[in-house]
Amino acid sequence: MGFLGGRYAIAGVGETDWSRQSGRTPLTLGLQAARQALTDAGMEARELDGFLSYSEGDSADGLHLASGLGAQPSYTAEIVGGGSSAEFLVATAAAAIEAGLCTSVLCYRAMNGRSGRRFGTQQDGGFSFDQIDPFAGFFSAQGMTTPAQHYGLIARRHMHEYGTTAEQLGAVALAFREHACGNPHAMMHDRPLTMADYLASPLIADPFRLLDCCLESDGAAACIVTSLARARDCRRRPVRILGAVTRAGGPHVYHYGLPSITEAAGQHVAPRLFGMAGLEPGDVDVAALYDCFSFVVLLQLEDYGFCKKGEGGPFAAGGRLGIGGDLPCNTAGGQLSEAYTHGMNNLIELVRQLRGTYTGSKRQVSEAEVGLCTGWGGPEVASGLLLGAGA
Amino acid sequence: MAEPAANARPEPRLDGLAAEFYAYCATGTLRFQRCEACGAWRHLPREMCPSCASSKWTWEASSGRGRIFSWTVTHRAPHPAFAADVPYAVVVVELEEGVRMVSGLRGLAPEALELDLAVEVGFESVSAEFSLPYFKPSVEGEPAS
Ligand SMILES: [Zn+2]
């Protein structure tokens, strides 16, 4: 039962500080996060023989990272992509171990997302869809070069079809900011937010305001995937991989040509993911939903079956995403308020919740046994992990 | 080939099926692929019909008329080439043939946009090889230009 018989686990997690100007290379950042994850797991660097990362030409590759740790790799890969990659790496790491290619894998994302290549602007050599999407020219020629503009088109249609409101988007931003205020490590730790602040924040790509958009961060995050048997001997309680779906989508990638543009690839991930693990949305105790934009969270609440299609807005506005709510979500502040690493920081927080790391503090989700982590690589592609508190 | 200026408007790569699509735009006509097997229209240009998987198609003329399906208004230019244009709208238009096209908007202030507003295509010549299609409010009773 479950992904690869439930025989794999996350044994260690680590990250750097988050900043706007790290003053370090992605390689140095990656090494720092890797050492944190090793310390967390109580493992020696030489035990790591798999290195997987994702990048859009802005990271440090596994071979150099392994070299910097003095580890001897037998399996390294760097995949192109942002959102949906963290889940892909964790699943692929377990599959590679199962196949006998390696035994313990470091999965990481290292980037200078603010001081280096930025994703929300093409100024100063920032990210461009042209680098990954052969269709990009059809959009960029119209002045449409950023994710905010693409998802803004979907959000506007969602508002039209379902009556979704700015305040409902704001409810996501406020919930995650409240979580950041409880996380001393978060970039927005000391910046409490009110709905009035949210509504007063400037429009970037209508209907998105500045505070609907994720942060831009320098930093790195890493986790170690190994066998459940090995993880049981590590310092921390293992977190088991119960289900995994990697970069799933529909049969055709031109989203605006689909019958409904307000449905996203998560709808293809959810049935396989929950079915594989023998679980249902109602079993999820704590979630890490990909949050490059507040609206993307609403859409995934629908796609993954936490509410009906079109009801993501009222669901979020009902206070359910807070710690103590029905579905505590992005409890370290998420990419909206902790840091932006294309999802890896959200995954790390989920692992910590399932370990009971914060037991005794307000940050701990009570009885956190099952966690869902989702990745959004645009409306066309999504990934998901179901994780379980290990024994 | 000279490097484009840093603040030049981005132009699509004119290769493959995109080159064919924009070659029609340069003559002032909007054409989409239509499947020879099942008759379905499609955009963006692709090698295969998403409805029936046939790889046979023809380029057929669109009426150029459609309705606003969604939009976003850019308030902070993501690229220096568009800094003077903010706020500007990017729209999704559902053409009469059923295909949806992401395009620019002319002849209407972004704040006057409405869902289902009737629009028709127009073209701006950017260079000898490249004309940019856009949409503008339809004039009742007149054929699309
Ligand atoms: Zn067909």
CA distance B35 to A58: 40
Q: Is residue B109 part of a domain?
A: yes
State yes or no: pLDDT of B142 exceeds 90. Answer: no
Q: Is residue A73 part of a domain?
A: yes
Q: Is residue A149 part of a domain?
A: no
Q: Is residue A299 part of a domain?
A: no
Q: Is residue A331 part of a domain?
A: no
State yes or no: pLDDT of B3 exceeds 60. Answer: no
State yes or no: pLDDT of A51 exceeds 50. Answer: yes
Pick the catalytic residue from A108, A290, A304, A358: A290
Q: Is residue A68 part of a domain?
A: yes
A290 is annotated as an active-site residue: yes
Cβ atoms of residues B118 and B144 within 8 Å: no
Pick the catalytic residue from A75, A151, A340, A358: A340
Q: Is residue B1 part of a domain?
A: no
Query: What is the overall mean pLDDT for chain A?
Result: 95
Average pLDDT over residues A232-242: 97
Q: Is residue B143 part of a domain?
A: no
DSSP-assigned states of every residue in A44-99: -GGG--EEEEEESS-S--HHHHHHHHT---SEEEEEE-STTHHHHHHHHHHHHHHT
Q: Tell me the residues of B at the A interface, defined by beta carbons under 8 Å apart.
A: 9-13, 18, 42-44, 46, 50, 69-82, 85, 87-88, 90, 92, 99-104, 110, 115, 126, 130, 132, 134
Place of tokens 């690229």: B79
Q: Is residue A341 part of a domain?
A: no
Q: Is residue B144 part of a domain?
A: no
Lowest mean pLDDT, pick from A55-64, A296-305, B7-16, B88-97: B7-16
Average pLDDT over residues A97-108: 98
Res A125: pLDDT: 56
Full-prediction pTM beyond 0.90?
Answer: yes
Average pLDDT over residues B62-88: 95
- How sure is the predictor about B62, in pLDDT bands with cuts at 50, 70 and 90? very high
Residues spanned by the domain of B126: 16-137
Residues 6 or more apart whose CB falls under 8 angstroms from that of A380 comprise A249, A250, A253, A255, A264, A265
Res B2: pLDDT: 44
Cβ atoms of residues B104 and B91 within 8 Å: yes
The one-letter amino acid code at A212 reads: D
Res A144: pLDDT: 92
Overall domain count for chain A: 1
Q: Is residue A52 part of a domain?
A: yes
Q: Is residue B3 part of a domain?
A: no
Please give the distance, rounded to the nearest whole angstrom, from the Cα atom of residue A271 to the centre of ligand 1.
28
Overall domain count for chain B: 1
- Beta carbons of A141 and B102 less than 8 Å apart: no
User: What strands lie across the sheet with A218-227, from one edge to the other?
Assistant: A75-80, A50-55, A104-112, A218-227, A8-15, A239-248, A382-389, A370-376, A286-288
Res B14: pLDDT: 86
The CATH code of the domain that includes A12 is 3.40.47.10
